[in-house]
Amino acid sequence: MTDPEVDKARQSSAIPLDDPGRKLALVHPDDPKMRFVSVVGDTYAILLTGEDTGGRYCLIDMHVPPGGGPPPHRHDFEEMFTLLEGEIELTFRGQTRKAGAGFTVNIPANAPHGFKNQSSAPARLLCMCTPPGLEEFFLAVGIPVASRTAPAPDSNEEQRAAFLKKAKELAPKYRIELLGP
């Protein structure tokens, strides 16, 4: 097509033309080339970044051991996760509910929330955020680990305090507000 024909096709189409610069992403959460990070005792496999999705969303495979889960927080992006395995106790705007394998949870932007694995078995969540950015925060504050289910490295009180200080300093850059300890 000539340039005027391309312009006419764009104007008459209900959706934009295909962007051949974008590539198919085919990932597996146990691929050793994947980026795995430990954050607050959990282990996250960064499956797709905003860069991978043209800035539309990110996808994170979360391994949450017993007692794990993020403290109360909020952010200005939508967060959705599906529990693939296990159970969590979710606190949303001060109300607590349980969700187990098969449940999908959508957290509206800006809403205070957090969750904890109160069970004796690990939980596995597939988390999508739109727009992306949470994955970049995790990569900035997390500690690299070897696999999707690798345990968090041991840390002492001083290291945990340094992590919390770094997370609080970086959170605003990623549109996140930490609300609890």
Q: Which residue has the tokens 């950015």?
A: 133
- Per residue in 112-148, pLDDT (tens digit) is 999 999 999 999 999 999 999 999 999 999 999 999 9
Mean pLDDT for each consecutive 10-residue tract of the chain (181 residues)? 62 84 93 93 96 96 96 96 97 96 97 96 98 97 95 91 94 94 63
User: Could you give the CA distance from residue 168 to residue 104 in angstroms, rounded to a whole number?
Assistant: 28
Distance from chain centroid for Cα 104: 14
Q: What's phi and psi for 46, nearest 5 deg?
A: -85, 100
> 63 forms bridges with which residues in the sheet?
43, 124
Helix or strand or coil: residue 86?
coil
Q: Does the predicted TM-score (pTM) go above 0.75?
A: yes
Q: Residue 24: which H helix or E strand, with range?
A: none
